[in-house]
Amino acid sequence: MKDASKRFSFMFSTIKRQNQPSNEDNIELKEVSDAFLIENEKLIVYYDKPLGTGVCSAVYRGVLSGLAPLAKLSSLMETQKFRDCDVAVKHALHFGDHEVEQLFREIEALKIIEYDRNVISMLGWRMINDKPAIVFELAQEDLLRYVKIQKLIDKKEIPFKTIISILWQIAKGMEFISSKNIVHRDLAARNVLLTNDFQAKISDFGLAVINNTDIKETALIKKFPVRWMSIEAIAEKLFSEKSDVWAFSVLMFEVFSLGQDPYAGIETRQILRFLRSGERLSRPELATNGMYEMMCSCWEENLETRPKFEELVVKLHDVLESESGYSKYYEELELLQEQGGSGQSNLNNSVALEVLDDDSL
């Protein structure tokens, strides 16, 4: 534990230089992060069972012994289930400035969130081979992979009620995140995880920022998910709940197109011009007119006229609870398909994180 504490002190001083928080924030971050530290013998990581690999990190299956630090620190009954459980271990592949910055953002955001059933829970952290690893509750797959699998079955067998429920849960999770004054900034189908019973869990807070009062990014982060970003986020690097609402609607496009890339065939540097001309993503084949109207309301250029997440929660809940169930959904889709018109073809794979450079947009 002494070695781990020394390594954390180095990590903490690096984070401090990167982010320059106040002295009180420094003390609080170190105290809480130390409290989240998992003892070496309490965590087993199965490196032969990778769950996913990204540019900066890899995720492996693991087992946590005893009560998770989150459960010890939290007064919520829901967190007490995190004991002697299977977990996901997100292990940094490198430990440079970019990784430190993402780690700081993720730990800080999840520390504030603590627990919500529609947000992935951070159970604790530890150092592995001198690199930080964050331990999360385990989910089975990501939403993007799930909707792509639906391509393999007959359209009449697609479980629309489950899909609407997932979207409703994501909106609920984002409403909670927004209530904590956090802007996610990387909401996309790839960053929503699903459990076996189809609970949706919003994940990946590496780009998150705290203080939801229209945050203007200056120079710290150079790579953003441009294809999920609002006009003001691309043009002015201005982020708020309303830019997350825009991204949620792009996620809806991904879901109703069964995993199609946003703006397929359009180069990144052309997206801002495309949006400013009034163009938007077309209605995906599996979205009814009502769903597409909801999506378009989230893509209003004037962010003040976009709905908040609390409004989207109500609208999606109304769809879920409608008396006709989702049989009416099938009928509306069949009528739309008979009339012709659907989404764009999937011409190429978009890059999730792209350089947001004023000279190239």
Q: Which residues are annotated as catalytic?
A: 186
Half-sphere exposure of 86 (CA within 13 A, CB side): 9
Grouping H, G, I as helix, E, B as strand and the rest as coil, residue 47 is strand
**Tokens 């924030």 sit on residue:** 25
Please enumerate in sequence order all residues whose Cβ is within 8 A of that of 244, keeping only pairs 6 or more positions apart, or say none: 174, 177, 178, 183, 184, 185, 187, 309
Which of 224, 169, 221, 223 has its CA nearest to residue 192? 169
Alpha-carbon distances of 46 from 16, 51, 175, 218, rounded to whole Å: 32, 10, 35, 39
Which phi and psi (to 5°) does residue 212 adopt?
A: -80, 65
- Identify whether the C-beta of residue 107 lies closer than 8 Å to the C-beta of residue 219: no
- Distance in angstroms (rounded) separating the CA atoms of residues 203 and 186: 9
328 Cα distance to chain centroid:
30
- Identify whether the C-beta of residue 200 lies closer than 8 Å to the C-beta of residue 173: yes
- Structure tokens belonging to residue 41: 């013998």
